[in-house]
Amino acid sequence: MNNPDSNDKVVIITGAAGGLGRALVDIFQAAGWRVVAGQNRNSIFKEADDLLPVPLNVTKREEIELAIQATLAKWGRIDALINNAGITADASVVHLRNADWQRVMDINLKGAFLCSQAVIRTMFKQRDGHIINISSFAAKNGHAGQSNYVAAKAGLVGLTQSLAKEAGARNVRVNAIFPGVLDTPMTADLTEDQRHRLDSTNVLGRSTSVDEVSLFIRNLAGMKHVSGQVFQLDSRVSAWT
């Protein structure tokens, strides 16, 4: 086990096999962090001195606990958790199946809660840590045909702000990100017309990029004096409240 007083920081990234997840793994490694890559599928990563791939279904408490144990056994600390795992199962309310409602809520919201609950004890003991939740602009604005996704992502903002108030006294920061529409497998089914309409809602006339979002998240993870905030990373403009 490494000296917990080491300057080497440790981050756990859920949903690491996705488009944003892979970019986050790469950028944290490049910055000298030690990375735990959690993924709910066959591993696309190979273990290295600074990388620990772990099977991580965020809906299963036992898998989360095993991932935490493996992280602490290898590196002795947890400095950041990025709750990035997420899915969509779109349908209008009248056609939305109960199973699809529950699956989206379980992965996007309950999974973030379970992972946060699992790491918070270690962060409290360290009196240091940062949890970053990947939410969505849809949480604020709503999207037709995505009531399950929107409800989960809105719940994630509430979780962020409540946990920030609970954890602040122990020097644990909790923030949320609205990353914008990214070119990832989650948006692969969008038509060109849909992409154009989404881009046109940005005052810059374009969506954001995976590289820029991952850079922001890496920088935020190292910040010490920011908590309980929601950061929107594209150029859509909406009312303050």
Domain containing residue 130: 10-232
Decide if 26 is catalytic. Answer: no
pLDDT the model gives residue 202: 86
pLDDT the model gives residue 2: 42
Task: Answer whether residue 52 is part of any domain.
Answer: yes
DSSP string, 1-29: ---TTSS--EEEETTTTSHHHHHHHHHHH
Mean pLDDT over each residue of the chain, to the nearest integer: 91
Task: Answer whether residue 124 is part of any domain.
Answer: yes
**Is the pTM for the entire model greater than 0.85?**
yes
Task: Answer whether residue 87 is part of any domain.
Answer: yes
Q: Walk across the sheet containing 172-178 and list its strands.
A: 51-55, 34-39, 10-13, 80-83, 129-134, 172-178, 230-232
pLDDT per position as a tens digit, 2-51: 443 436 899 999 999 989 999 999 999 999 999 999 998 777 899 999 99
The active-site residue out of 75, 137, 149, 178 is 149
pLDDT the model gives residue 145: 86
Average pLDDT over residues 64-69: 98
Task: Answer whether residue 5 is part of any domain.
Answer: no
Task: Answer whether residue 202 is part of any domain.
Answer: yes
pLDDT the model gives residue 239: 77
pLDDT per position as a tens digit, 135-160: 999 898 888 889 999 999 999 999 99
Nearest-CA neighbor of 41 among 19, 17, 13? 17
Is a pLDDT exceeding 70 seen at residue 185?
Answer: no
Average pLDDT over residues 107-128: 98
As given in the structure block, the two tokens for residue 71 are 């992280």
As given in the structure block, the two tokens for residue 202 are 């940005």
Task: Answer whether residue 117 is part of any domain.
Answer: yes
Task: Answer whether residue 238 is part of any domain.
Answer: no
As given in the structure block, the two tokens for residue 107 are 């992965």
Task: Answer whether residue 47 is part of any domain.
Answer: yes
Count of domains forming the chain: 1
What confidence category does residue 186 fall into, taking pLDDT thresholds of 50, 70 and 90?
low
Is a pLDDT exceeding 70 seen at residue 81?
Answer: yes
CATH code for position 24? 3.40.50.720
